Structure 1
Amino acid sequence: MTPLAETGAQLADLLRGARVVLLDFDGPVAHLFAGHPAPDVAAAVRQFATVRGGDFSEIRTDDPLVLLRAAYRRTPEFGRDVEAHVIEHETRAAAVAAPTPGAHELIRTAAATGRAVLIVSNNSARAIRTYLARHHLTDDVAQIIGRPFGHPEQMKPDPHLLHAALDIARAAPTGAVFIGDSITDAIAGNAAAVPCIGYAKDPERAEGLADADAIAVIDDMHALAEALRR
């Protein structure tokens, strides 16, 4: 863990000036593919692509979004067909996704303390809306900035989604904080000049986030809710 995450007081200092809380979805909010596993989704995407004349056999991944990017490299039309299929699976996954411990508390605490909460994710907005509605969090989230349909190049690590979130919230980067769980999140946060707090489920992930210049790294989302209340 980085030094800034060592105590609740230090984390509270980091969050004190943030009037806008930007949250990645898969990881910091929920384990999206906990009930509908990503390898199964990737297999379904491969089969869908094969039926339509696409071949992903040389792409070794269980990440549906890697396959989505590959589909758009083939042709925009093929990419849109594959993306529509991915959205169906993301939405199905969201209906049974497991909450990240402490995430709902963080969202509700941020909203209750007058902060705007925006979800900024490479996943589809439809899937995120499904999850938030299921857990009665819709009113606590000001906006969802999901993957722009037909534009995979705008997904993180590109800062486009974060810039869009700041524009919607009418916030300067210094008035926001971004919580993500991947190196691509940290890269996007740095590119948008938004302080990024990394959420790490294991030491290897923590090391990667620290190396990517996350300003702090935590392993418990409850710590953020507690820090906001200080």
Structure 2
Amino acid sequence: MLWDFDGPICRLFAGHKAERVAADLVEWLALQGLHGLLTDTERETLDPQVVLRAVGRRHPGSDLVAALEERLTQEEERAAGSALPTAYADPLIRTWTAVGARLAVTTNNSPRAARTYLESRGLTGCFTPHLYGRTQALQHLKPHPHCLNRALSAMGAAPADALMIGDSASDLDAAREAGVPFLGYAGGEDKEKRLRAAGAGHVVRSLEPLLRLLRSGHAVR
């Protein structure tokens, strides 16, 4: 079971707002004399990963990218302290583990942030050591299947025998590229529409039906 992190497992920026993090990254770049590195749209984004990717495209592999990625990682670790669990995620993770499924996190967030959050919920043992996330090689972020392929290889799992749970089109594209079946998680109607428009054939608004199926003794695939 390959889980995206922010969305299916928790709301990472529930308390430590993503838009504030994005603004802080933009401000930090300005303090380095790099205000002009971003477009007006990128400077106004509410998504810190947009800022990071923009710099990564213009200065791939640079010390600047490394420094910016580390700043975002620290912000994500801070956010993990106030993240809110997705409804039914904790018991679903524990139940899947109890019935013998192997679980991995495959995320565009920092694996350090994922570990911080999972430790706070007592869930680390359900995933360790399989936490695969963002590195400074930003070209490997989803929709690239790199983190999914790393998880499959480490667990010795065939793609067709796995399942990816994600909440974005980039998760779906990465799963397709890796050959992994995909289940979309949509916390609301708009997100469900976006996933279905991207081609997701199976989308749930809640993880509760999966938990119910598992507890009734049925495999979820």
Q: TM-score normalised to the size of structure 1? A: 0.87
User: Could you give the per-residue CA deviations for residues 162-193 of structure 1, whole angstroms, max 9, x where no partner exists?
Assistant: 11111011101111000000011111111111
Deviation at 1:212, TM superposition (A): 2.1
Please, which moves more after superposition, 109-118 or 49-58?
49-58
Q: Counterparts of 1:1-230 in structure 2 under 5 Å?
A: 21-55=1-35, 56=38, 58=40, 59=42, 60-75=44-59, 76-142=62-128, 143-148=130-135, 150-229=136-215, 230=218
Residue 52 of structure 1: CA displacement?
1.3
Q: Which amino acid aligns with 1:120?
A: T
- Preserved contact between residue 107 and residue 141 of structure 1 (Cα < 8 Å): no
- In the comparison of the two structures, how many residue pairs are matched? 209
Q: What letter matches 2:126 in structure 1?
A: D
Taking the aligned partners of 2:138 and 2:27, their CA distance within structure 1 comes to: 21
How far, CA to CA, are the matches of 1:154 and 1:74 in structure 2?
15
* Paired letter, 2:28: F
Supply the AA of the counterpart residue of 1:226. Answer: R
SS at match of 1:116: coil
Q: CA RMSD in A?
A: 1.2
How far the C-alpha of 1:154 sits from its partner, in A, is 0.3
Q: C-alpha separation between the residues in 2 aligned to 1:178 and 1:227?
A: 17
SS, match of residue 203 in structure 2: strand
TM-score (norm 2): 0.91
Judge conservation of contact 1:36–1:96 (CA < 8 Å) in 2: yes
Query: Which residue number in structure 2 is paired with residue 10 of structure 1?
Result: none
Q: Which runs of 5+ in 2 are unaligned?
A: none
Tell me the distance in 1 between the aligned counterparts of 2:57 and 2:170: 20
CA–CA distance in 2 between the matches of 1:212 and 1:193? Answer: 16
Q: Which amino acid in the other structure matches residue 207 of structure 2?
A: M
Tell me the distance in 2 between the aligned counterparts of 1:22 and 1:171: 11
Distance 2:156 2:103 in 1: 13
The percent of aligned pairs where both chains have the same amino acid is: 40
Shift of the alpha carbon at 1:224?
1.8
Q: Greater RCO between the two (CA within 8 Å, min separation 6)?
A: 1
**Gaps (5+ residues) in structure 1?**
1-20
Q: Which amino acid aligns with 1:36?
A: H
In the alignment, the residues of structure 2 paired with residue 26 and residue 226 of structure 1 have an alpha-carbon distance, to the nearest angstrom, of 23
